[in-house]
Every structure is written in C-alpha cells, then in structure tokens.
Amino acid sequence: MSGNDRQGSSERMYEIKAIIRPFMLDKVLHALAEMDDVPGVTISTVRGWGRTRAAGAEEAGEVAGHQVAEKTKVEIVLPASKTPQVLAAITGAARTGRPGDGKVFVCEVRQVIRIRTGEQGTHAI
C-alpha cells in the first residue's frame, strides 16, 4: 500500500455519541443494522444524571450519595455524508417521548488511524 493509499479520504468525519435508555438498545441497533455501510458501533454502560437528576428513573441507583440513572452509550465514527441518516435512525429508534430518553452529541473527528494497517481518514473507519 502506498503512502497516499494510507492517507484515506479527505471527507470530514464525525463521532456520534448517543446516551439512551438501556432497553432501547436493541431497537437502535436494529435500525442501524438496516442501513448500508454503517461502520462499527461501540456500546458502553454508563451512569449519570441529567436535568431531572435521575428522579423516578427505572434504572436509578446511588453513587456517592447522588441519584444516578444507568444508561447505554452508543458511539459511531462515520463520514459526514452518512451522519444525517444515522442521526435519524438513532433518534427515531430511541425515542419514547418521556423524560430521560437521552441525548445525542455530534463531534468532528480530525483523524482516524487503523493501528493494524496504518490506514488513515475514512478508509480507517
């Protein structure tokens, strides 16, 4: 592979971080799996509070004297051209209409490097 091939595309890339209700994960993953060319997904269990401070949340617990809700974080890095479609899939699948449905954050990614091959940019996603 030449040095130019390893550089990858110059298309902008974004990271989507969605904090959702744990029981909505299957629905979100199904919506993403139905889409063409969605790169990998990272899933984590997280805890925290929002504006309501986890009051009344089914998944609530206590950490260091603070009420926190257990949530699931879904992270995806993808080319900018796919971002609107992935955002629509996540928000549509994760919405219950009740407080605590979560948030989605979109951040620009300046660089991606595939460790195994040295590929960079969108080719490394």
pLDDT, one tens digit for every residue, the chain (125 residues):
444 445 666 789 999 999 999 999 999 999 999 998 888 999 999 998 877 665 556 666 777 777 888 999 999 999 999 999 999 999 999 999 998 899 999 999 999 999 999 999 999 99
Return the CATH number of 3-124, one of 3.30.70.120, 3.90.79.10, 3.90.1150.10, 3.40.630.10. 3.30.70.120
Report angle CA 37, 82, 34 to the nearest 5 degrees. 45
* pLDDT at res. 2: 44
Using the Cα atoms of residue 76, residue 81, residue 84 and residue 90 in order, give the sign of their dihedral. Answer: negative
* pLDDT at res. 1: 42
